[in-house]
Structure 1
Amino acid sequence: MWTITCALRCYMMLTALGLCGVMKRRWVVLAIALAVNFAAMYGAPHQRGEEGLALFGVSGFMIWLVSMYLAGVCFYVCAPFAVCALIVFVAALFAPQSVTRAVTPTMGAYLLFYVGHLQSPWLAKLRTRDDLSYGLYLYGWPVTQLISHGLPAIVPLAAFACVTAICVPLAFASWRGAEAPALRLKGTMVSRSGPLVQ
């Protein structure tokens, strides 16, 4: 749940960029993402929970998380840059730790998005009609905490099985009750206003 506040700020930032017309200019979006990524290299925390070095009053930890979010935004508006992302990702593996920490979750995430959207029969078999990913992300942490609090001696494999058994129905209800209707509403709004990017 500690990432939710960052996600909310990212949604607000993306809304502001959309209202300003920035989302229609993919090169501007890419430039913003690269600038945030370089800032994340500068102030990336060395361990989870550390704030890292602040930049313009924003903690390095927050900048690091925003850089990951912007990787997904860039995939949406700049999908053809997968080869560049792969080159940068591989090069970052041999760079100093601060660079690796900043580049791996951004370029790596971009590459995962790219592979996940490839149209192949094998990958198509892994896709389902109901997307439970966000619900699993949302409910996984609190359910894990409750189980570990109630059953402190539980072994990791049993904890994983219990969390999965509880979270899958929650994620399904979340998808059917909130996420899918919201996505249908978004599709209606986009069709009325025209394409998001050019």
Structure 2
Amino acid sequence: MGLAFEQSRRDSDNNFLILRLVAASLVVYGHSFALAAPCASCIDMFGTLFRYRYSGDIGLHIFFIISGFLVTASFCNRSSLIEFMKARLLRIYPALMVCSVLMILLGAVLTTYDQSSYWSSSETWRFWYLNFTLRGIAFDLPGVFQELKFKAMNGSLWSLAVELRLYFIVAIFGLLGAFRSRRITNIVLIAIVFLAVLKPQWIFFFSKAPENLRVAGFFLLGSLAYMNRSLIPMRWALLVVSVAIAAITFGTVLFEWFAGVTLCYGVFLIAFARKIQLPAILKDYSYGIYLYAWPIQQLIALNAPEWGPYAMFSLALPIAWALGAASWFLIEKTAMRLKRVNVFTWMRSTARNLVPRPSA
């Protein structure tokens, strides 16, 4: 039996929602070890126990695996490029725009600069422009968090620029007809993965940053999983075998590959296993959690510099969840309703209303 996606497109029929919420929480947990005071007795479950990447990386990998799967599905199941891009941009931009404005306002409260210098600084407006548009990423605001180990107002935003570029790659592949053929898609995506490993300088679209290529690789794994969904057997025994192979390769260059494939397979096993019933109030707060957790953790580090990772995580997580819920209900949910609006019909209707009608 392959991935049961055709019958499980909605969150009510699969476990993608809980996976996204867990992934967002893992990012908060992992970042606590970087942003809080050092703690010799505190351990990161993945980095220390499993000798794999730290928890924040695991959470981000899960996000990109799911995104690759669902975004590819979104393109293949939509009738037009415009509808696809509208859905993708509405998912990422409205909440990001609000978060960017709030971070600048928070920076104005926290900055050690006087207000005139803060608001006239090119660094402030560069932060707004790059993060607002995702043309690039700016991490710092003038005079903000300068006394901390990490000075970034929001160190999580870098992945959003990668995500946006991946949307465009999916759109280009779709326009070229690659998704009409499973064989062509497999050849192209696998070739890109090997190219990223052997000649990363050729993948200019993501810059030469290894973390950009790494998360893009997990997105491509998700895309491959969608294109081959009817061929992938869903067996827990196979996951055990995959874990064993990854363990055998530990300490070699193959470990990252096998561990990554194992994580990807595990994500889909959980996603399409028996539905885990969640309280009705739980919606997809994961994006808001991801957007707001880092600034919250920086505020904790600023006001409680002696706190270790566990203490920071225990306070940051519920606050991030609360802000994630607010982002979902006040911004993201409303923005997603606009996906049903036909752009050209709306433009024609607006233009018709703007033209004065002749009086009788």
Shorter-chain TM band: 0.5 to 0.7
Per residue, is there more helix in 1 or in 2?
1
Instruction: State the AA in 1 paired with 2:296.
Output: V
TM-score (norm 1): 0.68
CA distance in 2, matches of 1:187, 1:35: 36
Q: Which amino acid aligns with 1:78?
A: N
Conserved 8 A contact 1:71-1:107: no
- 1:28 aligns to 2:184 (yes or no): yes
Matched position secondary structure for 1:149: helix
The CA deviation string for residues 48-104 of structure 1, in whole angstroms up to 9 with x for no partner, is xxxxx7341543443222111122223334334155984666434423633222342
Q: Is 1:19 aligned to residue 152 of structure 2?
A: no
The separation in 2 between residues aligned to 1:177 and 1:78, in whole angstroms, is 37
Partner of 2:292: 139
Contact 1:26 1:78 in 2 (8 A): yes
Q: Distance in 2 between matches of 1:9 and 1:54?
A: 16
1:195 equivalent in structure 2:
none
Local SS of the residue matching 1:35: helix
Quote the Cα distance in structure 1 between the aligned partners of 2:216 and 2:194: 12
- Aligned runs of 1:65-144 on 2, under 5 Å? 65-80=215-230, 81-82=232-233, 86=239, 90-95=244-249, 97-120=252-275, 123-125=276-278, 129-144=282-297
Matches of 2:317 and 2:247, distance apart in 1: 32
1:56 aligns with 2:202: yes
Unaligned runs of 5+ in 1: 44-52, 190-198
Could you give the per-residue CA deviations for residues 8-29 of structure 1, whole angstroms, max 9, x where no partner exists? 2222222222333333434433
Give the Cα separation in 2 of the matches to 1:135 and 1:56: 33
Q: 1:29 to 1:146 in 2, by over 3 A?
A: farther
Q: CA deviation at 1:155?
A: 2.5
SS of residue in 1 equivalent to 2:283: coil
Q: 1:146 to 1:102 in 2, by over 3 A?
A: farther
Which has the higher Rg, Structure 1 or Structure 2? 2
CA distance in 1, matches of 2:224, 2:341: 23
Number of corresponding residues: 177
8 Å CA contact 2:245–2:258 kept in 1: the answer is no
State the shift of 1:36 in Å: 3.7
Aligned-pair CA distance for 1:118: 1.9
* Structure 2: distance between partners of 1:127 and 1:104: 34
Question: Percentage identity across aligned positions?
Answer: 25
Gaps in structure 2 of 5+ consecutive residues: 1-155, 343-360
- Secondary structure of the 1:5 match is helix
Whether the aligned pair in 1 keeps the contact of 2:234 and 2:269 (CA below 8 Å) is no
Distance 2:228 2:341 in 1: 23
Aligned match of 1:50 = none
